[in-house]
Amino acid sequence: MTDVNSWLRRLYIRALTIRVMRNKSRFVARRVRKYSIQSSSAPDSVLVELARETEALGPAAGMLVPHAQGTLLTTLVASARPTRAIEVGTFTGYSSLCIARGLSDSGQLLCLDISERWTSIAEKYWARAGVGHRIELRLGPAAETISALPAEPTFDFAFIDADKVSYQEYLDLLLPRMRLDGLLVVDNVLLHGKAARGRARGAEPAAMRRFNARLAADHRLQTVMLPFADGLTLARVCAH
């Protein structure tokens, strides 16, 4: 019976991760997406429960980062061991939990969001994962919250994943508050592939194209865009 349960659990996790990844990475061949998920670590039970509760929210669940992206965030953070991290756009807490897990015990993550309802789910899972003491949540429009932050102490790591049309504003506000060699990670930069189309229609794809072009040309940053998940840009801060 235990074997059957663990087999069913593995099957469920596989189906969940493949579904989330499929929705995000339509620009990658299905077979390759499936294979890359199968070749990555599986989520633990806290992340599976969090994803399941988020799925029950309906279409909003599409905002969740795919599992493999969460793993990437944990590995990036754990290898750099930042002291201060910031996340712009927290939702139900999947990515923040993954970031917080990579921090050292004295590391702190500041989470920004406007939704009390969604972040109340996040707080529950932070506590369950034993990382609640590393995270501070501030509710309100993220641009206002960042503007009110002092220039010092600086952040070592930032993850941008809130409303897409404000990405440039978030970057402009965050950059002076980042330490040199700090890492900015920006999500959804491909917008399901729409951002890569020359004549992208709609406010979001157009804003994302402008943002991506400015980021690549910004001499203060060393930037690489990964065609992974919904497109992920890593930018190292080289100058202010």
Q: Is 23 in the site for ligand SAM (CB under 6 A)?
A: no
HEC string for 115-129: CHHHHHHHHHHHHHH
Buried b (16+ CB within 10 A) or exposed e, 28-55: beeeebbeebeeeeebeebbbebbeebb
- Closest separation between CB of residue 64 and ligand SAM, Å? 5
Q: Which of 111, 102, 118, 95 is nearest to 24 (CA)?
A: 95
- Phi, psi (rounded to 5 degrees) for 28: -110, 140
Applying CB under 6 A, the span of 21-29, 35-43, 111-119, 148-156 interacting with ligand SAM comes to: 111-119
- The C-alpha atoms of residue 5 and residue 139 are separated, in whole angstroms, by 40
Among 16, 24, 77, 89, binds ligand SAM (CB under 6 A): 89
Comparison of 141 and 227: residue with beta carbon closer to ligand SAM: 141
CA distance 162 to 188: 10
- Using rule CB under 6 A, residue 112 touches ligand SAM: yes
Q: Which region among 24-32, 61-69, 201-209, 217-225 touches ligand SAM (by CB under 6 A)?
A: 61-69
Closer by beta carbon to ligand SAM, 84 or else 167: 167
Figure out which of the listed residues 17, 25, 74, 95 binds ligand SAM, where binding follows CB under 6 A: 95
115 makes contact with ligand SAM (CB under 6 A): yes
Smallest gap from Cβ 239 to ligand SAM, in A, equals 27
CB-CB contact of 68 with 93 (8 Å) = no
Q: Which residues from 151-170 bind ligand SAM, rule CB under 6 A?
A: 161-163
Find out whether 224 and 233 touch, Cβ atoms under 8 Å: yes
- Binding characters for ligand SAM, 62-81, by CB under 6 A (x = yes): -xxx----------------
How is residue 198 annotated by DSSP? T
Contact set with ligand SAM (CB under 6 A)? 63-65, 89-92, 94-95, 112-115, 118, 141-142, 161-163
